[in-house]
Each structure stands twice: as structure tokens, then as C-alpha cells.
Structure 1
Amino acid sequence: MRLKKHFVLLGVFLSLAGIVYGYTQYNLTRYSVYYASHMPRKEGAKPELIMALKNINWIDKVNTENVTFYEEYNHSIYISDNMYFTYNVDGYYIGLSQKNGLYFYNTDSTGKFVTYSSLVENKNEEPLDRKTLQEVENLLAPATQDIIEAQKTPLINLQKLFNQRYMSRFN
């Protein structure tokens, strides 16, 4: 009889632990853009865009003139008519179609834009200059703001846990 009691208590404890763990993972994923927008980061880091793309199926999405989510086909965020943010095996990047060709702006793991390449000009990856980086930042700013504003505030705020998990990556 005593052994049965221990098994019941163990079962209840494991069930509660599973529920708490599951909710914590759900909360960190669901509100990842909210948490990313409130965390310290390196200059130029874009944790909001990285988290929005990583958790595209879970976050709140708004489709405006600045941003459209494409989650079913290629998991991309379209920014205006000629620009998209997505990823491949090498990392995250922006594709930008301009009159004189298609450009790709690549990020490091923090979302900071560091290099670019162009198919038309046959340019391999080259470092971004300040002027080009500022132009890309200006194009991204309205879309990033729309994504952040679409996010709801979590009922249970796990900002400290989110920061512990991602601080080394973005800061």
C-alpha cells in the first residue's frame, strides 16, 4: 500500500513537472519577439527578426504594407514589395531586388548584417560599408516596428529566462 502511494505521488509530480516545462517552452516560443525586443543586445543585432523567423508559426503576425509573413511555403518575412528576410544553411539573409539586380545581405548569428553579394554584378561576399548598412537598416526599421507592435504582452513574463537562454547569442 505504501509503495502504491509513492507511485501516485511520483506520477503527480512528473505530470506537474511536464506541464510546467511544456508551458515554459510554449511561452518562450510564443512571446519570443516580445522578449527579444526587451533584451540587451550588441549594436546592430536584430534578435526580433531572428526570433520572428525562427518562431514564425507561433508568434502574432500582422500583414501590413511594410511586412507580410509567408510561413507555409518558404518561411520568409516579406518586407515591402522587393525585399524578404529568410534563412538557408549558411544563416539568415535579406534578398533585395533593385533595378540593377538582386542583392543578398547576410547576417551573423545575431542578425547583424555583415556581408553582401550580388548575382548580377558577380560579387562574392564582401563586407558591408556603412552607407549600404544604413540603407538596409532604414528599409528594415518600419517592418521590424510593425512586427514588434503586433506582439502581445505575456501573462507570465519569462524575460529573465529568455535573456539567460539567448544573452550569449545576441549580446
Structure 2
Amino acid sequence: MNKIIITCLTTFFATIGLIHLYDNWYIDYNLRKYSVYYAHNMEHNEGTHPELAMALENMDVIYKPDKKNIRYREDGGYTINKNFLDSEQFSINYNRGEKELLYGYYDITYKSYYFNGAFKLTRAYDSSVGHDEIDIKTVDQEALYKEIYNNFGFLVEANVNRKPLINMQKEFNKKYYKRFN
């Protein structure tokens, strides 16, 4: 009798443990892989760009289209470089090692723009005349975001319509709603 109870309890706890591991791993993977889709379908404040933030943050699991003059780097952070005529270069990155979320965009005029976790502009620098800080109030942010999407929006477009088999929009909203609102 005791052997039967011990066997049943062991089987029960092993099954519960496996279900728990599967749920935790699959939910996290699903939220990361389809993060651009979920971000696109989530309500967010004007001026935040959750689709691009999620695309950069989860670049290791989302679909990355092969495009001419585009190079993906995943060494310590995620970087996408776009080259034209072997001289003009645009670059956008996400640094995983920072204490706070930080995204950077670098254009051909040697200007650097830094964004917070909601992908709102927080700092800007002009390296062409030294490392002078630019007042972000003087930056045409709408034109800047348009330029960024012009150069790197293909990553969002490639993932925004990739629907998950199991829709976990509610879980995504629980996790990221405050960040983008």
C-alpha cells in the first residue's frame, strides 16, 4: 500500500513539475518570438514605438529577413548595420548588459541618438564636431523616427503579421503595458 502511494505521489509531482517547466518555457518563448505582433496590437502612448523596441530586444528569436547591405550582429547586444555604397552607414542597437534599457541609433552625419525602454528619445550627440550633446528639444523627433523606420522598419514589417498559434496577448499586455503607457 505504501509503495503504491509513494509511486503515485512521485508520478504526480513529476507530472506537475514537467507541466510547470513547459508552461514557463513556452510562454516566455512565445512572448519573445511574437513580441512584435503583440506590441503592434497593444494600446500604447503616442510617441512610444513598442514594435521597434521589441524587434531589437528579441532579435535572437524573431524572423530576420536576408536583405542586401544589412548585417545583423549578436555579440553582447543586438546591432543592425545598413551600408550604402561602402561608405554611408546607419546602425541601430540594443545593449543587453545595461542596467536600464537603452537603444541607440547612429546615422551618416555622425549623430548618435539614444532611446529609453519605451523607445522615446532621451539623449543625442553630435560626433562630427566633438562629442557635443544636442538639446533633444531641437531634434525633429517625427523626422528622426521616420528615418529610423525607413532604414530599419523592414524588421518590424517582417514580424508584425506573424500570428502565433496560441495568442498570449493578455500575458504580453500584463508584462509590457506599463512600459509603453
2:107 is paired with a residue whose SS is strand
1:1-171, aligned counterparts within 5 Å?
A: 1-64=4-67, 68-73=70-75, 75-79=78-82, 81=84, 82-88=89-95, 89=98, 91-98=102-109, 102-129=110-137, 132-143=140-151, 145-151=153-159, 152-171=162-181
Contact map agreement 1:83 1:94 (CA 8 A) in 2:
yes
Report the RMSD for the aligned CA atoms in angstroms. 2.3
Where structure 2 has 5 or more consecutive residues not aligned to the other structure, the ranges are none
- 2:126, 2:134 within 8 Å by CA — same for their partners in 1? no
- With 72-81 and 151-160 compared, the bigger mean Cα shift is at 72-81
Question: How far does the alpha carbon of each residue in 1:118-156 deviate from its partner, in whole angstroms, 9 at most, with x for none?
Answer: 122235333323653122122123345422321211111
Identity across matched positions, percent: 27
**TM-score of the superposition, structure 2-length normalised?**
0.80
User: What is the TM-score when the length of structure 1 is the normalising length?
Assistant: 0.84
Counterpart of 1:116, as a letter, is A
Task: Please give the per-residue CA displacement for 1:106-127, whole angstroms capped at 9, x wherever unaligned.
Answer: 1122111232101222353333
Contact 1:62 1:68 in 2 (8 A): no
Taking the aligned partners of 1:70 and 1:53, their CA distance within structure 2 comes to 11
Shift of 1:27: 0.3
Residue ranges of structure 1 left out of the alignment (5+ in a row): none
